[in-house]
Amino acid sequence: MIEAFPVTATPALLTGLALVLAGPAPAWLARAEWPSRVPRAALVLWQAMTLAALLSALGAGLSVATLISFYERPGIVLLALHISAFAFTVLVLARLLWSAHVLGTNLRARRRRHRQLVDLVGRSDGRAPGARILDAPEAFAYCVPGVSSRLVVSSSALDTLSDDEIQAVLEHERAHARARHDLVLEGFTALHNAFPTLVRSRAARDAAAGLVEMLADDAAQRRAGAVPLGRALVRLAHAPVPAGTIGTGHVTPLTRIQRLGEPRTIAHHGLASSVYAAAIAIVVIPTVSVAMPWLVHLSHQLS
């Protein structure tokens, strides 16, 4: 017979942790105001939370598969608890694999067709070097991401924006393409779809979309200046963004414009360091405190 705590509680603890990190914790973090000051660190924290939720869910099932075998006559309650944790893990893993496959296949096909269409009907313009210009009455600019990305700007945007504003917009979209923000967002979407509707939250996926825009803003600000970028954000505030692309119309520009004038201080660096430390702790502490005792116990049983 194995000890009652903490090893036998591993499946329940990991399942509970997965549920908290998939629902209530993201909802709480989404209401915080500090992420806009350190978007890169905040994005890492979101990634750590989603990764920890997934690892906890998978760990719950693995611990069930090993611990229950050490009982000669497991009780009904214990058996039901282990079966529930194992079923939840199998469900999450199956949904994750299916979501990643479907999402990746559909998105890449859609983006491939979009790039082909842009190459076919678009044109070049010296005012927007490296971009394809589409004749359209709406002012918009976006990036079709991929290994071979495309920057797309409408003719109306060229007529509406000044040269320095166009440069700021292009730098913003180039930042998306260089950093492959599309892969970051795909990861959040796949993990979001992995958890059942009743326990998942859209907070991580929506927050990630806003944070990558802020990261692209920071890159554009360094290269083109805050004032031209701010003016461009205002003028493209309601720009349409096709599905599967990344552009300035994904989130409201108010917070983004406000943060352009905020100076980076030592406090920002301290906050970022604290957030990075929290991200590491979210992944490491459950592993050390919950999963490690189970692994040690398992090794003793098998030796």
Q: What pLDDT score does 1 carry?
A: 40
Domain total of the chain: 1
The DSSP bridge pattern shows strands 141-144 and 131-134 to be unpaired
Residue 249 — very low, low, confident or very high, per pLDDT cuts 50/70/90?
very low
| Tally of CB atoms within 10 A around 59 | 26
> Per residue in 262-292, pLDDT tens?
777 777 889 999 999 999 999 888 777 666 6
The DSSP bridge pattern shows strands 141-144 and 246-247 to be antiparallel
Q: What pLDDT score does 272 carry?
A: 93
Say if 139 falls within a structural domain: yes
Higher pLDDT, 3 or 56: 56
Say if 138 falls within a structural domain: yes
* Whole-angstrom distance, CA of residue 138 vs CA of residue 42: 33
Say if 2 falls within a structural domain: no
Higher pLDDT, 171 or 58: 171
Say if 1 falls within a structural domain: no
> Per residue in 61-87, pLDDT tens?
777 766 666 666 667 776 776 677 777
Sheet of strand 141-144, all strands in order from the earlier edge strand to the far edge: 131-134, 150-154, 141-144, 246-247
* Whole-angstrom distance, CA of residue 117 vs CA of residue 126: 21
Say if 112 falls within a structural domain: yes
Q: Does the pLDDT at position 21 exceed 90?
A: no
Q: CA Rg, the chain, in Å?
A: 23
- Domain limits at 192? 7-302
Say if 36 falls within a structural domain: yes
* Whole-angstrom distance, CA of residue 104 vs CA of residue 106: 6
> Per residue in 38-52, pLDDT tens?
999 999 999 999 888
> Per residue in 221-244, pLDDT tens?
999 999 999 999 989 888 888 888
Helix 10-22 to helix 39-67 angle (10° resolution) is 150
Residue 204 — very low, low, confident or very high, per pLDDT cuts 50/70/90?
confident
> Per residue in 91-141, pLDDT tens?
878 888 888 888 888 988 999 999 999 999 999 999 999 999 999 999 999
Give me the phi and psi of 134, to 5 degrees please: -110, 130
Say if 159 falls within a structural domain: yes
